Amino acid sequence: MFSVMSCVVSVPFYTGFIPLLFWSGHSKLARQMILLLAFCDFIGNSIKDVVSAPRPSSPPVRRVTATKDEKENAMEYGLPSSHALNTVCLSGYLLHYALTHGVQNGVTVAVGFALVFTLVMIIGIGRIYLGMHSLIDVVSGISFGLVILAFWLTIHGYVDDFIISGQNVTSFLASLSLLLCFAYPTPEFPTPSFEYHTAFVGAAFGIVSGIRQTYFHFHHEGVPRIFSPQIPLLVFLGRMLVGISTILMVKFCSKAIAKWLLPVMCNTLGIPIVSSCYVPALRGSDSSKSKSDGKQLGYLQKVIAFFPRKAYDVDTGIRFLQYAGLGWSVTDLAPSLFSHLNL
């Protein structure tokens, strides 16, 4: 039971759940949740890698990793618990959205808070039972989650207004994404935390870019919602079939294009790069010396020369573009296909 519940708040679940929110007509909730999730992931994983507190030793603790996602999570540091932190923030924001847009009375508020409290407790106890976290990890995750949720409920309206009607939103988010990738702390030992961070930042950037292009077509507050005459259950199932196939294809294609394009661009600009997994030819290669050494530098190369001459991991850019393409397909390409197919 605890293994199944941990999957409900894992990365694969978010990858499937948030697109369904967009395609069911709840675009505001979906875009807020992906931005909140990216924010939680950056804060939580940054704290993990700064503190570098290990998970419970196994043995004597018996760690249960029933899925590939859990095995990767076990390679991260322990404090705070990301599952507990994300559960508090996302379930809390979902409750806020439901109470804001639904009928409010004492019974619904009490039932809503009871459900959120129960879910958080099950996830927290499950992380300890599965040997993934200590009690301190879980308590700190819940505490950080409550602080982040309170902060987000204060600013989420301003964030949404900026995304919908702000100026230079795409360029601002591109600059912010680049900053967040470079500003991430370096842990004592490498962990998958930075990979998750890059993926969520890329997905958030792609989703916002798509919304900026198609807001008045597919994402405004007047769009039909699921179970309405315009989107009955069969139409929504058709959207799921077409949409999931589309985003998986875009994710694969954007990764392939990025694996070819980024090394070419970096080589042209004289940026030394390495690759830990995506580009076999760059694994372990000595890229500290640019191929442009001894040649006359162009203007862009002279600008690049002011940056530290170290080898950059091109996998970060590939992963960012891959998930940015996936996010864009969720909010732009897939809804466009729905429109053409009358779904």
> Active-site residue numbers?
83, 133
CA 330 – CA 333 distance, rounded (Å): 7
Q: What is the DSSP-derived secondary structure letter of residue 312?
A: E
User: Which residues, including other chains, have CB under 8 Å from residue 326's CB and lie 6 or more apart?
Assistant: 15, 202, 203, 206, 247, 250, 251, 254
CA 329 – CA 343 distance, rounded (Å): 16
* Both structure tokens of 120: 């958080």
**C-alpha 257, offset from chain centre:** 21
The CB density around residue 228, as the number of other CB atoms within 10 Å, is: 12
Q: What is the DSSP-derived secondary structure letter of residue 282?
A: G
Q: Which of 69, 75, 66 is nearest to 48 (CA)?
A: 75
User: Which residues, including other chains, have CB under 8 Å from residue 113's CB and lie 6 or more apart?
Assistant: 95
| End-to-end Cα separation, the chain, in angstroms | 36
The CB density around residue 229, as the number of other CB atoms within 10 Å, is: 7
The sign of the torsion formed by the CA atoms of 108, 113, 116, 121 equals: negative
